[in-house]
Structure 1
Amino acid sequence: MSDIERKHTNARMSKIVRHGDLVYLCGQTASGGTNASADITAQTQETLARVDALLTEAGSDRARILSATLYLRDINDFAAMNAVWESWIAPGTAPARTTVEARLASESLLFEVTVIAALA
């Protein structure tokens, strides 16, 4: 298993897993306790900033995202979330993407994303 690298690991998960030329991030959200009153726009911005930081740490960046799964507490937030997403993703670098409505781990969370990216 020496070709698998895990970072920020606890009993349940690793925030970053690198294998071969790929990096996998666990589900990222806004900070639930401190951002409980934030709307979908603020939560999406904070979450994507966390993705940026983890991808940088792993040796990748948002332009190298291959696949993303987006989870919305309320599908009615789709347009507002997309406005943030579309300003975050550079033209010509849009990954394969799925968006679903889902119950998230905390009532205050409105958005979560998981990504798979290529290493730089």
Structure 2
Amino acid sequence: MREESTKRAYITNAQVVGPYSPGVQVGNLLFVSGQIGINQKLELVSDSIEGQTRQALLNLLNILKQAGCDSSSVVSCTVYLKDIKDFPKMNLIYGGFFQEGKYPARATIEAANLPKNARVEIACIAVKM
């Protein structure tokens, strides 16, 4: 992590597909950029919504851990789906990453085009306790 005098910390140890920070911590808030289901070689790990959702969440968890957080720190998620018909399958994987009954707030939006033609992208905001 690299810190600035404005008390921002930038998480830089993650693969990205553009000119942005994977995560930015300001005070006790962590803003995690949208994650898609790519591996270290920046390749989609699967064509399936389940595989891409799982990898996107693992990528998100990796960034959270770098900031000293985990999935219980997440207070809000935004999920972008290429096809809203994938909503039920995405939900099955998504639900397993959070403690039942303590899910973060969430918005799910259909988006026609995602980076690398991904089927899902997930961004979040976390609170570091």
* Same fold? TM cut 0.5: yes
Greater RCO, CA 8 A, separation 6+: 1
4+ residue segments displaced more than 4 Å: none
Hey, which of these two has a bigger chunk of strand by percent? 1
Map 1:82-97; keep pairs closer than 5 Å. Answer: 82-97=91-106
Question: Is the partner of 1:34 in helix, strand or coil?
Answer: coil
Q: How much is the aligned-residue C-alpha RMSD, in angstroms?
A: 2.0
The equivalent position to 2:89 in structure 1, one of 80, 83, 94, is 80
Paired residue type of 1:119: K
Q: TM-score, normalised by structure 1?
A: 0.89
The residue number in structure 2 matching 1:15 is: 22
Shift of 1:12: 2.3
Q: Which moved more, 1:85-94 or 1:43-52?
A: 85-94
- Structure-2 change in CA distance of 1:119 and 1:36 (3 Å): closer
Q: TM-score, normalised by structure 2?
A: 0.83
Q: What percent identity do the matched residue pairs reach?
A: 31
Structure 2 stretches of 5 or more lacking a match?
none
Structure 1 stretches of 5 or more lacking a match?
none
Paired residue type of 2:76: S
The equivalent position to 2:34 in structure 1, one of 27, 32, 37, is 27
The equivalent position to 2:114 in structure 1, one of 98, 104, 108, is 104
